[in-house]
Amino acid sequence: MDFKKAYWIALAATFALASCSTTPTSTSQPATLPAEQSAGMAAAPESLSAARSQLAAQMQSEQRIETTLSWANEYLQQQRPEDAEQLLGDLNPDTLSTETRFQWILLSGRAALSQQNATPAVELLAKYQDEILQYPVEQQAQLDLLRADALAMEGKLLDSLQQRVAAHPLLNDQDQDYNHGMIWQLLMQLSPQELANATQSSGGDLLGWLSLAQLYRDPIADLDAQVARLDQWSAKWRTHPAISDVPAMLDALKEAASNRPSQVAILLPTSGPLQNVGKTLQEGIMTAHYQQKQNSLAPTLRFYDSGPDNILAVYQQAINDGADFVLGPLSKEKAAAIAAQGTLPATTLALNYIESEQVPENFFQFGLAPEDEARQIAQQGAREGSTQAGILYPKGDWGERVAQAFADEWQNLHGTVTVSRAYQEGPEIGEIVEELLLVAQSEARGKEVSRFTNLDMDIQPRRRQDMDFLVLIANPNQGRQVKPALNFHYAKDLPVYSTSLIYSGESNPRRDQDLNGIRFVDMPWIIGDQNSDLHKVAAEQWPDGHGRYERLYAMGIDAYRLQSRLYLLNTLPSSELPGATGRLQMRDQQVVRKLDWAIFMRGEARSLPQVTNPANSLPVRSNAVSAAP
């Protein structure tokens, strides 16, 4: 797989502002193209070769052009961009009328973006720029959205944002719904510094979007202050496209402010085998607490040792001391013991996930579940149009659990697991990789065929072709054995996706050369902007960092932030908190994380731009969902 194609990672097209209460508008019906309006036009054949043969047999040039455009459009809706590209390539754009050339440009650009390749779309739009400027404004606006998608795929997020904001007034209602949600996706992906710089240098509607995003994206801002700032924003931007969203945001923030805790009890192990974990979480909590105190009112914190066996007595003591919010405990068993008590006297956020499906209505769970990461990989693969995946995971209950989480989600998304193998670290990894790829069988078939012919035969061994990508569950040491084995056994082009386990969190270019090409999910604290104010505070307080516990430190930061935002996440299903461990949302009283993507390149873990799936771009969207704030 071409590296540039592999480089760009798609986000879900269902992104919503944290304070959003607007019901997402479905855009599952594609915009109608004129070519689809021809009476009696047959559906596209299942086989591309049959389609091309039938088109070649059509003597009437105009009918052939209309049919080609219609079938290419149909293939795009079926997530078959390569076939659409082949059909469109059979047309000579210089012989097309102005109207049909517009359709050809639009569909050709979409076919390129659907294959995660922005360059052809950008070049196409540049080539016909003078002609495009003569198109009706509605057609220009549709091509503007195509250009915006291409810019985002190239990592030019601010340029894409500017393009979308400029085109927005020219779009129809359906396209505006889609574009509204996409504007928010881009705003959420800008780094804090990019957002601040853009706000200072922008004007018009773009400034309105940017300033509203800044208001929202402050995770430690005082809720009362945010309400006041929203009121001010509404007064200033009365005619802004986002103005209809603000009343719902205000109501939600006011409710959250009235429900915030005044005293938080924190139950962490300060003794026993988990005391180092508890200490790291506490340091993260205190970092976030002191930062908030500099900007707004903060609750009183009281710490309790959850190490002793009688966790219910510790919990009751916290309640007796006046706690109206309990953060912890960390142990699954102890969290389950508290949940089993029925309705609790204070809202409780356990720092782990328990097995029980029935929990009190004021009991919530938050943790760093690798299963969530595996599910996100499955969702990403589906958004990219993949249908077949392989899994390679370490032997043991933990590896099986993570692999099963991917498999379950992948199959729910109508994907197929073509092969699944467990491994142990050591010399046998190479053999397992060879077996997984069916290289020996390929070599044997080639030799068998060559026995019956005197012709020169290409009997070069090949890997199996029924895997669109491989899910690798591995730590860095294991990954450094697996990826070279994949390369050696003719699978260098096979996309490999992994969880955050693959990255130690510390730069080691010399050793991590063997991980080059692996894409993985990880938290913003690890692979995001390392120059944020909070990173600077953490570096001052803990100059040596926290080593292998760094992700737990980030979890402590988010655990503290959740105490004031939990009500908002729970009452508004579309709400989201931009956290250190990911973008946090609530699902069935569990806080789940949406992580960022990175790739190993030249031994370094590099953050990837995050854009929407170009296959869902307008005007043809087979399963996209617009999510306006």
Q: How many other CB atoms sit within 10 Å of the CB of residue 328?
A: 30
Helix (H/G/I), strand (E/B), else coil: 510: helix
The residue that leads in pLDDT, 389 or 47, is: 389
- Please say if the pLDDT value at position 450 is more than 60: no
Q: State residue 153's pLDDT score.
A: 82
> 265: part of which helix (H) or strand (E)?
strand 263-268
CA nearest 420: which of 398, 395, 442, 445?
395
Report the pLDDT averaged over residues 433-451.
60
pLDDT score of 220: 60
- Whether residue 617 contacts residue 6, with contact meaning beta carbons closer than 8 Å, is answered with no
Alpha-carbon distance values, 189 to 524, 527, 529, 578 (Å): 11, 13, 11, 10
Which DSSP symbol is given to 616? G
By DSSP bridging, strand 325-327 and strand 263-268 are parallel
Candidate ranges 136-145, 494-503, 564-573; pick with highest mean pLDDT: 494-503
SS3 state of residue 412:
helix
Mean pLDDT of the chain: 83
Q: Residue 145 and residue 148: Cα distance in Å, rounded?
A: 5
Ordered by where they begin, the domains of the chain are: 3-195 (1.25.40), 371-449+459-532+596-608 (3.40.50.2300)
Backbone angles phi, psi at 219, to 5 degrees: -70, -15
**Integer CA distances (angstroms), 348 to 53, 182, 267, 354, 365, in order:** 65, 35, 10, 13, 8
Q: Is 443's pLDDT higher than 70?
A: no
- Condensed to tens digits (0 to 9), the pLDDT of residues 554-586 reads 999 999 999 988 988 888 766 778 899 998 999
pLDDT of 335: 96
Please check the confidence at residue 426 and state whether its pLDDT lies above 80: no
Tokens (6 digits) for 366: 């938050």
Higher pLDDT, 297 or 376: 376
Q: Contact 585/594 with Cβ under 8 angstroms?
A: yes
Answer whether residue 13 shows pLDDT above 70.
no
**Which is more confidently placed, 623 or 285?**
285
Say how far apart CA 314 and CA 307 lie, in whole Å.
Answer: 10
Contact 389, 468 (CB under 8 A): yes
- For the full predicted model, state whether its pTM sits above 0.75: no
pLDDT computed for residue 18 by the predictor: 26
Predicted local confidence at residue 260, as pLDDT: 87
| pLDDT (average), residues 245-269 | 85
